[in-house]
A and B are shown apart, each in its own frame.
Chain A
Amino acid sequence: MNDWQTWTALAVVTCTATIMLWRILRKRKPPGCDSDCDSSES
């Protein structure tokens, strides 16, 4: 059950969570908002 797929998948998930958290925290900094500032539209 704990084959390479499971480990890789978990690694991907962890990386994703870290990246997303980092992006949110970076945005909280006043006011410095550069170009990719999630002013994105749907």
Chain B
Amino acid sequence: MADTRLFALVGNPNTGKTTLFNALTGLRQKVANYPGVTVEKKEGTGRDRHGNEFRLIDLPGAYSLDAKSPDEEVTCAVLHGERADTPRPDAVICLIDASNLERHFYLATQVMELGLPTIIVLNKTDEAAERGITIAAKKLEERLGVPVVPMQANARVGMEQLQVALSREEPPKPKWESMVGNDVAARYEKINALLEGTVARGDVERLTPTDRWDRVLVHPVWGWVILLGILAGLFMTIFSVATYPMDWINAGFGWLGEQVKASMAAGDLRSLITEGIIGGVGGVLIFLPQILILFFFIGLMENTGYLARVSFMMDRLMSGVGLSGKAFVPLLSSYACAIPGIMATRTMESARDRLITILVAPITSCSARLPVYLMLIALMLPIGNATQKALVLLGLYGLSILGVYAFAWVFNRTLEKTGETLMVLELPSYQSPSWREVLMQLLERGKIFLRRAGTVILGLSILLWALTTYPKSDSENASEQLAHSAAGRMGKAIEPVIAPLGYDWKMGVGLVASFAAREVFVSTMSIIYLGEDATGEGNTVREKMAKEKRADGTPAYNVRTCLSLLVFYVFAMQCLSTVAVTRRETNSWRWPIFQVVYLTGFAYIAALATYQISGFFLT
């Protein structure tokens, strides 16, 4: 059958699989999920030397096929053809770190025992050379009977040789005797026998660059200084640099709105387009620059290997509440978005640790909250004051960190322990950042954000516009019209419940609406306030909100209310997608429902406390 061949890419974590995957597939890749588990499925297509297409699947990193985590289970299952959703690969490309042959061959020998055509890639040969390691690839090839390709995937060195190996009509199967049972020591003995005479190690005792960097970056004093500096720099960048593209986007949407208004008579459809669609979607898209900056920083830290050091330094703080340093990366990623963060917990071996991490992940202030935070902070503090604003934002993030710890501690105490677990964190060598990879990831994340804006947010904006417009009242007064609408009535209905928190019914409408997705709060406010007037620019929403008054004449969005709203948003669980992912990862509805209840309940209490207590200090 002239079907396209399916190659599987396997290897230990941190071996450069992603780099090689990108090199072979370019932009022709697709990220999805394995049904039933939240393990990321990465597939792509490439072309071989004959111009034929082949499919490539990047399997999760694994240390051995005796799976000890969901990631490894998937890799093992796919290689054995045991997953209904993924066909068994036709051939395997096994990636090995040339600096550490023995350990990487542990997995490789298990893979070869599958009896599939295999290509062995010795990656990072440059690093090996720096350590004085040379490998006789040809000898290995003879012994194994399969191609052994030395490569530097990030510099694209060795790609031609790999392409040759990929393009063979009848790729060879490995000459390797299967071993029975799990005898680790015995397997290593066979590996050493295999590698005998093929590896030459110079007597290099000098400090590697990684050592030199680690001396500073993991220094008891400087390490923290640098880490805090990086995080502070990140926030300052989000506030200053991002304002330029934000202004452009704002202007662009404003212009678009004007064009529509000029070409249509006033009416419902025009209102739907300008306030509902442009106002709603635009109000969220404007935060794309900041979200990209966040993803960029995290991607850079991960790419260079620094992120593992951060886990290393933070582990002690995490284990105090029953989390491991491995939870740090998922939780840190959750600061961009809890969905990939929760999915990243699949590398955690302990089911209990994973559960706790998943339960607290929504407390991390994800990027969807950023639009809400920024809008409320802008309302709270006058124009300018970038430092003050940055401080408030930092304070919010600090509050979320406290919340994560506090709840992790609680869960650690209350959930039953299932026995001791081991944490092993591998610290890869530093590598200079591959800008290409970081940017590709950024592109992918940006596309996903845009897709979500184009679909979920667009849909919700349209529906919200409808809820705030219909049923229509006879009055000309915009405020009365809003009160008459379905959304207005819902907001008024919950007003008694939210009044002690300092909210009015319009905010109530925003709160209710944003339970599907947080950033919808911004769109809703946009619609509510834009709908009251015919003009339509980003800043006027803010101005209007600033002018909004309560029954007694005081500003509606005063400092106390804004603080209370901010605190509410720090904790409340307002994301249907996160509920869905939690359900998938924990395989039950119990935990996602629990998340919604405990988080929203606590948010209410915390916001209540904030509003009431601040009454003693502020007007």
| A interface residue numbers (CB < 8 A to B) | 3-6, 8-10, 12-13, 16-17, 19-20, 27, 31-42
Number of chain B interface residues as a range: 35 or more
**Interfacial chain B residues near A20, Cβ < 8 Å:** 459-460, 463
**Interfacial chain A residues near B581, Cβ < 8 Å:** 39
Alpha-carbon distance A40/B343, docked complex (angstroms): 11
14 interchain pairs, CB-CB under 8 A:
A5-B267, A5-B269, A5-B270, A10-B268, A17-B463, A20-B459, A32-B35, A37-B32, A40-B448, A40-B449, A41-B445, A42-B366, A42-B367, A42-B519
* Contact yes or no, B463 A16, CB < 8 A: yes
Residue in A8, A19, A33, A38 whose beta carbon sits within 8 Å of that of B35 in the complex = A33
Question: In the complex, what residue of chain B is closest to A5 when comparing beta carbons?
Answer: B267
Question: In the complex, what residue of chain B is closest to A39 when comparing beta carbons?
Answer: B33
Alpha-carbon distance A33/B41, docked complex (angstroms): 12
Known: A13-B462, A35-B32, A41-B449. 15 other contacts (CB 8 A): A5-B268, A5-B269, A6-B267, A8-B269, A9-B268, A9-B272, A12-B272, A12-B462, A34-B32, A38-B456, A40-B448, A40-B456, A41-B336, A42-B449, A42-B519
Alpha-carbon distance A34/B34, docked complex (angstroms): 9
Residue in B30, B265, B459 whose beta carbon sits within 8 Å of that of A35 in the complex = B30
Alpha-carbon distance A36/B462, docked complex (angstroms): 21
Alpha-carbon distance A36/B32, docked complex (angstroms): 7
Alpha-carbon distance A27/B576, docked complex (angstroms): 12
* Contact yes or no, A41 B339, CB < 8 A: yes
**Interfacial chain B residues near A35, Cβ < 8 Å:** 30, 32
| B interface residue numbers (CB < 8 A to A) | 30-33, 35-36, 38, 264-265, 267-272, 291, 336-337, 339-340, 343, 366-368, 445, 448-449, 451-452, 456, 459-460, 462-463, 465-466, 519, 577, 580-581
Alpha-carbon distance A33/B466, docked complex (angstroms): 30
Q: How far is the CB of A32 from chain B (nearest CB, A)?
A: 6
* Contact yes or no, A39 B35, CB < 8 A: no
**Interfacial chain B residues near A36, Cβ < 8 Å:** 32
Check A13/B463 contact, CB under 8 A, given A27-B580, A32-B35, A39-B33. yes
**Interfacial chain A residues near B270, Cβ < 8 Å:** 5
**Interfacial chain A residues near B340, Cβ < 8 Å:** 41
**Interfacial chain B residues near A33, Cβ < 8 Å:** 33, 35
* Contact yes or no, A31 B35, CB < 8 A: yes
Check A16/B367 contact, CB under 8 A, given A5-B267, A35-B32, A42-B337. no
Question: Which 9 A-B residue pairs are closest in the complex by CB-CB distance?
Answer: A5-B267, A5-B269, A9-B268, A35-B32, A31-B35, A41-B337, A13-B466, A6-B268, A42-B337
* Contact yes or no, A16 B462, CB < 8 A: yes
**Interfacial chain A residues near B269, Cβ < 8 Å:** 4-6, 8-9, 12
Alpha-carbon distance A12/B336, docked complex (angstroms): 32
Alpha-carbon distance A41/B581, docked complex (angstroms): 11
Q: How far is the CB of B338 from chain A (nearest CB, A)?
A: 9
Alpha-carbon distance A19/B460, docked complex (angstroms): 11
Interface centre among A3, A31, A32 (most CB of B within 10 A): A31
* Contact yes or no, B267 A31, CB < 8 A: no
